[in-house]
């Protein structure tokens, strides 16, 4: 099975290792821990994990505060005053919910290989391997890939193969596995890619003639040019198109020439130059907007054309409509069957 060149880190273990480095009598911030992991935008996940994780007696997470010295959240099932009491017992002054002499007790000297920074570098490498080229054929069948979640980090992937001319569902499959990474903005690829690759292998065994995959998510319409559809396409070496339901980045060029009837989306490249990386697909005034971009071995015009061919009245192109429906249904079933 195709695989990534860099292993996906166990981020919870990495964070626990950083927590263990904070000395008694010192504090750090959620953002500083995220920086030590290699990406500042991981700070929100850091805070959520510290609030929800198991707290053994020696857990040092009470030493993590907000960037202005406010204590912030603590264990969900404990009195927030307990955090202040623990810090005071270690010699950290706290008054009115704020760390005193904050700059003097702030600890940032973490020893870390910054695992998220390694993933970002891998994204840049994959972006450089993307090939943008016309996809001029109209395949008889097209596959759609989507991932939903059933709680506790369980990822449910689904693939749906449909006939291009009728939209008829020909075949589908699902897979279940632990999400490889928690949700961190701009790193969705590494959360979902293992599930997509597993679905790809099974689809190719059943339908070796299927050569084009639509992916729920962005292609090159991404801050690093490496959304999930682009990375999946490069790793699997297959033509891909990204279809996203929300606008991640870029600018709508409402005054520019339309691409197959759709408004182009650009991002800034070299100074003073913007590159077209996708388009807004909205076939009917009442329809939701979709943001379509090439992933690999397609281009913007091809991506818009193919996505438009699969418009059979649903919000999503038909292959993704079925993949979305199947993954959500399986996720709901697992949640309903879970013991209380």
Same-domain status, 320 and 277: yes
Average pLDDT, the chain: 93
pLDDT score, position 317 = 97
What percent of the chain has pLDDT above 70? 97
pLDDT of residue 284: 74
Task: Determine the structural domain holding residue 135 and report its residue range.
Answer: 130-337
CATH number at residue 232: 3.30.2170.10
Residue among 117, 119, 107 nearest 20 (CA): 107
2 in a domain, yes or no? no
169/272 same-domain check:
yes
Q: Out of 61, 175, 231, 262, which one is annotated catalytic?
A: 61
- Say if 125 falls within a structural domain: no
Quick one: pLDDT at residue 58? 86
CATH number of the domain where residue 81 is located: 1.10.10.10
Q: Is 263 in the active site?
A: no
Give φ, ψ of 288 to 5 degrees: -70, 150
Q: Is the pLDDT of residue 340 over 60?
A: no
Cα–Cα–Cα angle for 25, 31, 34, nearest 5°? 105
* CB atoms near residue 275 (< 10 Å): 14
Measured CA to CA in angstroms, residue 139 lies from 23, 293, 329 at distances of 61, 18, 28
pTM, two decimals, is: 0.90
Domain count, the chain: 2
Do 221 and 262 belong to one domain? yes
Please state the length of the chain: 340
Domain limit, last residue, from 117, 143, 163? 117
pLDDT at 287 over 80: no
């Amino acid at each position: 099975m195709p695989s990534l060149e860099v292993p996906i880190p166990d981020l919870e273990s990495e964070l626990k290792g950083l927590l263990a480095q904070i000395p008694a009598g010192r504090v750090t911030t959620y953002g500083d821990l995220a920086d030590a992991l290699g990406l500042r935008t991981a700070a929100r996940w850091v805070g959520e994990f510290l609030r929800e994780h198991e707290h053994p007696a020696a857990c040092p997470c009470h030493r993590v505060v907000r960037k202005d010295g406010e204590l912030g959240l603590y264990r969900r099932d404990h009195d927030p005053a307990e955090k202040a009491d623990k810090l005071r017992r270690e010699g950290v002054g706290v008054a009115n919910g704020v760390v005193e002499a904050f700059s003097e007790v702030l600890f940032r000297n973490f020893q870390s290989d910054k695992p998220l920074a390694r993933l970002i570098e891998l994204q840049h490498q994959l972006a450089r391997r993307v090939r943008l080229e016309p996809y001029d054929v109209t395949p008889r069948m097209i596959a759609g890939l989507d991932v939903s979640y059933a709680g506790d980090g369980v990822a449910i992937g689904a693939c749906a193969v449909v006939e291009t001319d009728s939209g008829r569902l020909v075949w589908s499959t699902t897979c279940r596995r632990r999400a490889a990474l928690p949700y961190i903005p701009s790193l969705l690829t590494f959360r979902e890619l293992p599930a997509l690759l597993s679905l790809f292998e099974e689809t190719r065994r059943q339908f070796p003639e299927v050569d084009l995959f639509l992916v729920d998510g962005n292609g090159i319409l991404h801050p690093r040019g490496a959304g999930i559809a682009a990375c999946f396409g490069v790793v699997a070496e297959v033509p891909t198109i990204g279809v996203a339901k929300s606008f991640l980045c870029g600018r709508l060029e409402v005054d520019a020439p339309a691409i197959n009837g759709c408004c182009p989306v650009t991002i800034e490249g070299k100074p003073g130059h913007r590159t077209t990386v996708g388009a807004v697909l909205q076939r009917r005034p009442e329809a939701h907007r979709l943001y379509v971009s090439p992933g690999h071995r397609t281009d913007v015009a091809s991506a818009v054309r193919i996505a438009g061919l699969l418009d059979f009245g649903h919000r999503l192109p038909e292959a993704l409509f079925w993949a979305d429906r199947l993954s959500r249904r399986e996720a709901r079933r697992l949640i309903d069957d879970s013991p209380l």
